[in-house]
Amino acid sequence: MSEPKGQTLEKYLQTLKSSMGNAATLHCIVGNEAADLDSIASALVYAYFRSSTAETSGTVFVPFIPIPRDDFKLRTEAVFLFSEAGVDPQLLIFSEDIDLKSLYNAGKLELTLVDHNRPTGLTAGFTNAVAGVIDHHADEGLFENVALRKIEPVGSAATLVAELILGEAEDLLDAGVTTLLLGTILLDTVNLDPEAKRVTPKDETVAAELLKRSGIEQKALFNRVQHEKFNVSALDSDDLLRKDYKQWELGHHRVGISSVLLSFAEWLQKDASLSQSLARYAESRDLDVLLAMNAYTAPEFTRELGVYCPDGELRAKLLDYLEQCGLELTPITAEMLDSSTALFAQGNLGISRKKLQPMLAEFFASLP
């Protein structure tokens, strides 16, 4: 039998770094590469649960977030929900805090995959260390023999973590832990709305149990988390550009596209030197072209397109080409911009980054 540890999530996190130093084995609970709220919250709560119920000493359970610490602030809904749950983000463990490779080489690494079931990114090389899987994505059939393998097509990985805790360690469900789980389940299932086609009977049952225990007001919590997901007011231009960013080598050029969650009018209010901010971002990544695809709801869904390209000749060709792509572009004039930057309202709301990227690929392939 395990001794009751009288642990709280806060105490667990406060002593985590020092216990990591003395561990014979580090058992990292890791979410998927995107490090969305479901991945981060599920990994944290499951690590806390394992730590609180562990029967073996020597193994330290660590919620490992596979992104740099500085990127956490880009997950605005996670920043909000963790603060609401009383979790100090300073105590969380990020990619720079653990050297997975040397732990693995020393035979001291174990992994539980949460919110994915095939190791990717930072953990891709460590399949032999996988000791457990908790996920709600399509089952890729790996790790059939691990001790815990829980893969079910529910709306949120947090539902599966909550189910385990409800069954085995109910007393861990204090206000903070319940807030983390419930806020995540509600966000992932669009407030348990059947019309959104994300929620399953298990999400409903688990959420009902959490609601009953906590007295949390469902609609209010959902509305706050949903609002904070799109609330980028705390982010500067560099943050806005890297929050949802992809880049490609197209022909002889390097092109980046940021999806941005606010209007150029608001952005220019935050940052009157937007051209210079785009230039800095593009230079730091050695880009020939940087596009910002702004999409926001205020109250109607709206798209805008920003094109940064310091090479005048290339810019003229690209703008000509974009005119022919059916984007329905109308220039937005802003005095503070220099000629490297062109901004447009995008009348065709159907053209997302996924659709624009192949059109750009065709354009750049045609250049000498």
Q: Give least dist CB 188 to Mn ion, A.
A: 6
Q: How far is the CB of 184 from Mn ion (least distance, A)?
A: 8
Q: Counting Cβ atoms within 10 Å, is residue 86 exposed (0-12), middle (13-18) or buried (19+)?
A: middle
Identify the helix (H) or strand (E) that includes residue 42: helix 37-53
- Residue 135 sits in the site that holds Mn ion (CB under 5 A): no
Euclidean distance between CA atoms 133 and 111, whole angstroms: 9
Rounded Cα gap, residues 195 and 198, in angstroms:
8
- Identify which of residues 191 and 277 has a Cβ nearer to Mn ion in the complex: 191
User: Is residue 190 a contact partner of residue 219, using CB atoms and an 8 Å limit?
Assistant: no
Residues 224, 228, 233, 238, Cα dihedral to 10°: 170
CA distances from residue 241 to 234, 266, 282 in whole angstroms, order as listed: 13, 14, 10
Two tokens, residue 288: 């020939």
* Shortest spacing between CB 156 and Mn ion, in angstroms: 6
38 scored as a contact of Mn ion (CB under 5 A): yes
Which region among 8-16, 151-159, 196-204, 205-213 touches Mn ion (by CB under 5 A)? 151-159
Nearer to Mn ion, 27 or 136 (CB): 136
Radius of gyration of the chain (CA): 23
Q: Binder to Mn ion among 77, 84, 110, 115 (CB under 5 A)?
A: 115
CB 78 to Mn ion: min, Å: 13
Select 77 or 115, whichever has its Cβ closest to Mn ion: 115
Site for Mn ion in 176-215 (CB under 5 A): none
Tell me: does residue 157 bind Mn ion (CB under 5 A).
yes
| Cβ at position 194, least distance to Mn ion in Å | 19
Task: Kindly indicate which of the ranges 52-60, 107-115, 125-133, 203-211 contains the residues binding Mn ion, using the contact rule CB under 5 A.
Answer: 107-115
Write down the least CB distance from residue 204 to Mn ion, Å.
Answer: 17
Question: CA 313 to CA 180: how far, in whole Å?
Answer: 51
Residue nearest to Mn ion (CB): 38
* Contacts with Mn ion, residue ranges (CB under 5 A): 38, 115, 157
